[in-house]
Amino acid sequence: MRSKINLENWTNSRFISGDYQVGIFLGADPESLAHNSYVYSVSVIKNEHDEIFEQSFSSLSEAISFVNNRYTDWTFLDQSLPKAEGCGSCAAH
């Protein structure tokens, strides 16, 4: 079974493919704020800063389903796990 983004790991997990990564990001716009809610944006980013694609959803579960149905053939990365070496590899991080 391949790893997937879920309700517990969505803030730390990404799917990556070469220079591209996709994740879910929390946001808001005037319409969602008027309803005391948020927007969950699925964004594909190239080279860690160039946004290539974005689609917004009104619920986290919809965003998770979209990502898992479209990108699970990419490599799963849980960014909350400690790195094996380099910055972030020591107990202080």
Q: Measured between alpha carbons, how far is 42 from 33 in angstroms, rounded to an integer?
A: 19
pLDDT digits (tens, 9 = 90+) for 15-64: 999 999 999 999 988 888 888 889 999 999 999 899 999 999 999 999 99
Which runs of consecutive H residues, i.e. helices, occur in the chain?
Answer: 30-34, 60-71
Please report the pLDDT score of residue 2 as a whole number: 72
When pLDDT is cut at 50, 70 and 90, the band that residue 92 belongs to is: very low
Distance separating the N- and C-terminal Cα atoms of the chain: 30
Q: Is the separation of the CB atoms in 5 and 25 below 8 Å? A: no
Higher pLDDT, 86 or 28: 28
